[in-house]
C-alpha cells in the first residue's frame, strides 16, 4: 500500500496551502481525491493478505463503541436531510417548524410547499457537511490501512513535521518581511501576526500546536544517542560525539524550535498557553516516570528546547506578543455571549439539532446583542456541533 500512503501524505502536506484548505474548491478537491483513492483501494487494495497473518486479520477489527458512535452520527445526519411529513417535524423539532413558519409569515415561502419538511434548516448545507465528514472518515480508514510498518509510521511523521516546519518558516518570513501575503494575496486581517498559508492566525496556531508535540516526541525518540556512557576516556568521548548517528539526531532539534517560534509569533493567546501546558505536561510525565539515565536525558532535552524557543522569541522581540495578553482581557466577553446564545440554541434543538452546517442560520434568533457581523461560528466546536 505504498502508493496509498504517498497519496495520503501528499494530501496532508498540500491541503493547508490554499488558504488553510478553508475554501470551497480546496474542500471539493480533498473530497474528490479521497473518494477516488477509496475506489482504487476497493479495486486493488482490499484483497485478502496472501500470508493470512493473524495481525492482518486483527487490524480489520473496529472497536465496538467508536463504531456505533460513528454509525449513530451518520444516521442522525441522514435523518436531518430526509423529507418528513410536517406533523412529524413539528413533534421532533418544534423550533425548526416555528423557524419555517416565520418564513411563511414574512411571505418568503409558500405554505403549500411545506407539506414535507426536513429537520435541517438547510438540507443542502447539511448534505455538504455530511459528505465532508464522510471524506474525513474515509481518510482515517485509508490511513489505517496504508500504515502497516514502523517505517511507514516514520514516513508519515516526517511528512507532518515537514508540513509544520514549512508553515512556520513561511509564516515567519512573510511576517518579518512585512508583506503579510499568502502567496499573492495580502492578508490585511492579521497583518501583525504570522499566519502561514492560513487566513486566520488561530487556525495557523492550532495546526502548529498539533505538530509541535509530534516533532518534539520524534526528537526525544532519538534521545538514546545523547546518553553518554559512563567511564569513557577523553578520546573516547570525542569519538562518541563524532558519531554520524548523533550528528544526524542533533538536526531533529530544529523542527520543534522552528515550530515553537512560529507558534509564538502567531500571537494566538490560546496557542501560546497550550504550548506552555504541553511543556509542563511532558516534564511532569518524564518526572513521574522511572528516573533512568534515558528519562533524565529526555527531560533535559525538553527543557533545552523550550528554553531555546523562549530565548529566541525574547531576542527577536517579545513586545508584540505581550501586547496580545495585556491589551485586552484573557476572557473575551463576546465569546462568552456566543456560548450563552448557543446554549439557548441547543435547548431548543435537543434531539437532532438544527442541521449540520446550519449554525449561521439558526443562531440569529438567539443573539441577545447586535454584533454588527454575521455570526457563523460559536468559537467552540463542541457547542456548535451540539447545536447542529
- pLDDT tens digit sequence for 224-251: 555 555 666 666 655 655 565 666 677 8
Residue from 152, 281, 137, 139 nearest 212 by CA? 281
Contact 318, 352 (CB under 8 A): no
pLDDT tens, 132-190?
999 999 999 999 999 988 999 999 999 999 999 999 999 999 999 989 999 989 998 88
Model confidence at 322, pLDDT cuts 50, 70, 90, reads confident
What does pTM read for this prediction?
Answer: 0.84
In 41-117, alpha helices (H): 54-59, 64-81, 86-92, 94-105
Is the sign of the CA dihedral 16, 19, 23, 29 positive or negative?
negative
pLDDT at 111 over 90: no
Specify which of 92-101, 136-145, 294-303, 367-376 reaches the highest per-range mean pLDDT: 136-145
Residue 54 is predicted with a pLDDT of: 45
Quote the CA–CA distance of 230 and 329 in Å, as a whole number. Answer: 52
Given a cut of 50, is residue 58 above it in pLDDT?
no
In this predicted structure, what is the pLDDT of residue 331? 66
Q: Under 8 Å CB-to-CB from 380, ≥6 apart: which residues?
A: 335, 338, 339, 342
- The helix/strand/coil state of 192 is coil
pLDDT at 287 over 90: no
If you average pLDDT over residues 318-337, what whole number do you get? 76
Q: Is the pLDDT of residue 70 over 80?
A: yes
**Cα–Cα distance, 261 to 258 (Å, whole number):** 5
Q: Does residue 42 surpass a pLDDT of 70?
A: yes
What pLDDT score does 194 carry? Answer: 92
- What pLDDT is recorded for position 133? 95
* Residue 219: per-residue pLDDT: 87
Which residues on adjacent β-strands are paired with residue 116?
Answer: 85
Q: Three-state SS for 186?
A: strand
Q: Using the predicted structure, report yes or no on whether residue 203 has a pLDDT greater than 80.
A: yes
User: Counting Cβ atoms within 10 Å, is residue 189 exposed (0-12), middle (13-18) or buried (19+)?
Assistant: exposed
Amino acid at each position: 500500500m505504498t502508493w496509498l500512503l504517498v497519496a495520503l501524505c501528499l494530501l496532508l502536506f498540500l491541503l493547508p496551502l490554499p488558504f488553510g484548505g478553508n475554501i470551497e474548491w480546496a474542500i471539493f478537491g480533498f473530497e474528490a481525491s479521497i473518494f477516488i483513492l477509496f475506489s482504487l483501494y476497493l479495486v486493488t487494495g482490499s484483497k485478502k493478505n496472501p500470508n493470512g497473518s493473524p495481525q492482518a486479520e486483527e487490524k480489520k477489527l473496529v472497536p465496538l463503541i467508536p463504531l456505533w458512535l460513528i454509525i449513530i452520527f451518520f444516521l442522525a445526519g441522514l435523518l436531518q436531510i430526509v423529507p418528513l411529513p410536517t406533523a412529524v417535524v413539528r413533534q421532533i423539532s418544534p423550533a425548526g417548524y416555528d423557524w419555517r413558519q416565520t418564513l411563511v409569515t414574512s411571505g418568503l415561502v409558500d405554505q403549500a410547499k411545506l407539506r414535507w419538511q426536513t429537520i435541517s434548516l438547510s438540507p443542502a448545507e447539511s448534505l455538504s457537511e455530511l459528505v465532508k465528514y464522510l471524506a474525513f472518515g474515509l481518510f482515517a480508514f485509508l490511513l489505517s490501512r496504508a500504515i502497516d510498518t514502523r517505517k511507514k509510521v516514520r514516513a508519515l511523521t516526517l511528512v507532518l513535521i515537514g508540513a509544520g516546519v514549512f508553515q512556520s518558516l513561511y509564516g515567519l518570513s512573510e511576517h518579518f518581511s512585512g508583506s503579510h501575503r499568502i502567496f499573492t494575496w495580502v492578508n490585511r486581517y492579521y497583518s501583525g501576526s504570522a499566519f502561514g498559508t492560513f487566513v486566520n492566525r488561530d487556525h495557523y496556531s492550532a495546526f502548529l500546536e498539533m505538530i509541535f508535540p509530534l516533532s518534539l516526541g520524534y526528537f526525544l525518540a532519538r534521545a538514546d544517542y545523547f546518553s553518554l556512557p559512563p567511564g569513557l576516556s577523553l578520546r573516547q568521548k570525542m569519538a562518541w560525539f563524532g558519531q554520524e548517528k548523533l550528528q544526524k539526531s542533533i538536526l531533529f532539534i530544529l523542527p520543534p524550535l522552528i515550530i515553537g517560534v512560529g507558534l509564538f509569533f502567531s500571537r494566538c493567546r490560546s496557542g501560546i498557553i497550550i504550548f506552555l501546558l504541553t511543556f509542563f505536561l511532558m516534564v511532569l510525565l518524564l518526572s513521574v516516570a522511572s528516573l533512568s539515565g534515558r528519562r533524565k536525558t529526555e527531560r533535559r532535552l525538553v527543557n533545552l528546547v523550550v528554553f531555546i524557543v523562549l530565548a529566541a522569541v525574547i531576542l527577536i522581540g517579545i513586545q508584540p506578543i505581550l501586547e496580545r495578553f495585556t491589551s485586552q482581557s484573557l476572557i473575551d466577553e463576546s465569546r462568552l455571549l456566543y456560548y450563552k446564545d448557543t446554549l439557548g440554541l441547543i435547548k431548543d434543538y435537543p434531539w437532532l439539532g438544527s442541521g449540520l452546517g446550519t449554525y449561521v442560520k439558526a443562531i440569529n434568533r438567539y443573539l441577545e446583542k447586535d454584533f454588527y457581523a454575521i455570526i457563523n461560528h460559536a468559537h467552540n466546536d463542541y457547542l456548535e456541533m451540539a447545536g447542529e
